[in-house]
Amino acid sequence: MLIVPSGASMSGDLKHPSKAIPKGTLYGLALTFFSYAIVVLSMAATITRASFYQNTNVIQLVRILFKI
């Protein structure tokens, strides 16, 4: 919640804030979408379907086992 007011107060520093703010918001949303898509696809490629059926916490276990 603090990001929006701070971003709005900095809009005076931009050359074209009416174009830059929506473009930055859309780029942020796209980056988030693709990040989540990569996570979902990598988990789908590495975890078997049987693991999902047998253990509902398989996602948490994979996160613990493969720390970055």
Plot region of 47 (φ>0 → left; ψ -120 to 50 → alpha; else → beta): beta
**Domain presence at residue 41:** yes
Name the domain count of the chain.
1
Per-residue pLDDT reduced to its tens digit, 37-66 = 988 888 888 888 888 888 878 877 776 555
pLDDT for 1: 47
**Domain presence at residue 3:** no
Per-residue pLDDT reduced to its tens digit, 4-14 = 555 556 656 77
Q: Are 61 and 48 in contact (CB under 8 A)?
A: no
Q: Higher model confidence: residue 34 or residue 43?
A: 34
**Domain presence at residue 8:** no
**Domain presence at residue 5:** no
Q: Higher model confidence: residue 54 or residue 68?
A: 54
Q: Which of 3, 41, 64 is nearest to 11 (CA)?
A: 3
What residues make up the domain containing 60? 14-65
**Domain presence at residue 23:** yes
Please give the Cα distance from 5 to 45 (Å, whole number).
40
**Domain presence at residue 7:** no
Q: Are 31 and 38 in contact (CB under 8 A)?
A: no
